[in-house]
Amino acid sequence: MTSLPQRISLVFLLLFNISTLFAEPQNLGLLKNELIHYHDDGEYEKEFNTVVCKAQHYIDKRAAQNNQRGNKQKLAIVLDIDETSLSNYRSMSEHNFSITRTGFAREILKSRGAVFASMLQLFQDAQRHNITVFFVSGRNTSERQATEKNLRSAGYNNWGGLFLKPMDYKEPSIIPFKSGTRQAIEAKGYTIVATIGDQFSDLKGGFAEKGFKLPNPYYYLP
């Protein structure tokens, strides 16, 4: 039988756990201010570039290994587009970080996504090492023309393929589409050494040697 002090302690512990469980979430307005600060003080770019540097190091290492073996493998990398190859920060901030999918689609058609300089450098470095670069994106196929225009204006050229989500795609997660596309690329004889994206769903599902997760506190895609 527990003593009175023990029972009191248990009650306080229970009340503390309940209050923690139902604690008020952080204020949305303050969170948005944190997003702005995270971007504007350079921390976002710093963390982004750190991941890109790690990815490029691995890609260069695999290219060197393949070269030593007589380039027997057809090497490839897979890049996501939004918040990976192109930045939509301008659009997100203009919509106070509350942009809807419909609003985002309208922004895509404007083809004004900004280039990530470090990712463009990785893209070009991969091409110099005879590595084919594929874009695999959750953008819809109806947005292909605007997407191609934006990629080219940002400096991305001569990619191996641009795969966009079919209009009739009904899965709740993008993982089956992205992993299935990587599987189809490997079925053509390629070895995907790296897949790079801002969402964990860009990396899950296999069919790549390594996945590199870029920072993105702005939105989540399953």
- Residue 21 pLDDT class (50, 70, 90 cuts): low
Does the pLDDT value for residue 4 go beyond 50?
Answer: no
Per-residue model confidence as pLDDT tens digits over 80-124: 999 999 999 999 999 999 999 899 999 999 999 999 999 999 999
pLDDT in tens, 129-179: 999 999 999 999 999 999 999 999 999 999 999 999 999 999 999 999 999
Q: What is the phi/psi pair of residue 195, to 5°?
A: -120, 130
- Spell out the domains of the chain, with CATH numbers in brackets: 28-213 (3.40.50.1000)
| Portion of the chain with pLDDT greater than 70, in percent | 90
**Side chain identity, residue 158:** N
Q: Where are the alpha helices (DSSP H) in 78-192?
A: 89-94, 101-109, 117-128, 144-154, 175-187
**Both tokens assigned to 164:** 């966009």
Interhelix angle for 28-40 vs 43-68, to 10°?
Answer: 60
pLDDT, position 24: 82
pLDDT score recorded for residue 5:
47
